[in-house]
């Protein structure tokens, strides 16, 4: 999936219709997503560390100028929905940081690898990935 642009057409089309209808329709449209099962697009946002683009992030943030349009219960639902995905992102980042720190420790202990070892490692990674 890397390199593919995520385009939430279903969400955007529904949002455009809600905007055209006006009134509270936009708020109700966004609120409706709080109780739907997450779509494949939601996983794409998680994978891209881009949960800030999810409508739940719009609802959860009490500092937004439109926060008064959503209830405390709406924010709680949004935060609960975001929580496991945010935790997955943090776990992935922690794993990456741990790997980097382990590599740094090996370098401190053993010194820098020689060029041939690096070339072999790179070729192995390219074949497996």
18 domain-assigned: yes
The tens digit of pLDDT for each residue in 18-75 reads 999 988 999 999 998 888 887 788 888 888 888 888 889 989 999 989 899 999 999 9
The tens digit of pLDDT for each residue in 102-122 reads 988 888 888 877 777 777 877
Contact 46, 53 (CB under 8 A): no
* Residue 25 CB contacts under 8 Å (≥ 6 apart), including other chains: 18, 19
Collapse the DSSP code of 6 into the 3-class scheme (helix H, G, I; strand E, B; otherwise coil) and give the result. Answer: coil
**In total, how many domains does the chain have?**
1
**Which domain range does residue 65 map to?**
9-128
DSSP 25-94: HHHHHHHHHTTSPP-HHHHHHHHTT-GGGSHHHHHH-TTSTTGGGS-HHHHHHHHHHHHHHHHHHHHHHH
pTM of the predicted structure, to 2 decimals: 0.69
4 domain-assigned: no
């Amino acid at each position: 999936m890397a390199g593919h642009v995520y385009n939430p057409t279903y969400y955007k089309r529904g949002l455009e219709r809600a905007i055209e209808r006006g009134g509270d329709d936009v708020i109700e449209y966004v609120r409706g997503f709080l109780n739907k099962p997450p779509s494949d697009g939601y996983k794409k946002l998680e994978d891209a560390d881009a949960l800030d683009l999810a409508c739940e992030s719009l609802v959860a943030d009490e500092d937004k100028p439109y926060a008064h349009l959503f209830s405390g219960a709406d924010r709680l639902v949004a935060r609960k929905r975001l929580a496991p995905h945010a935790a997955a992102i943090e776990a992935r980042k922690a794993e990456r940081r741990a790997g980097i720190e382990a590599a740094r420790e090996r370098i401190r202990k053993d010194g820098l690898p020689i060029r041939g070892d690096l070339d072999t490692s790179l070729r192995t990674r390219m074949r497996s990935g």
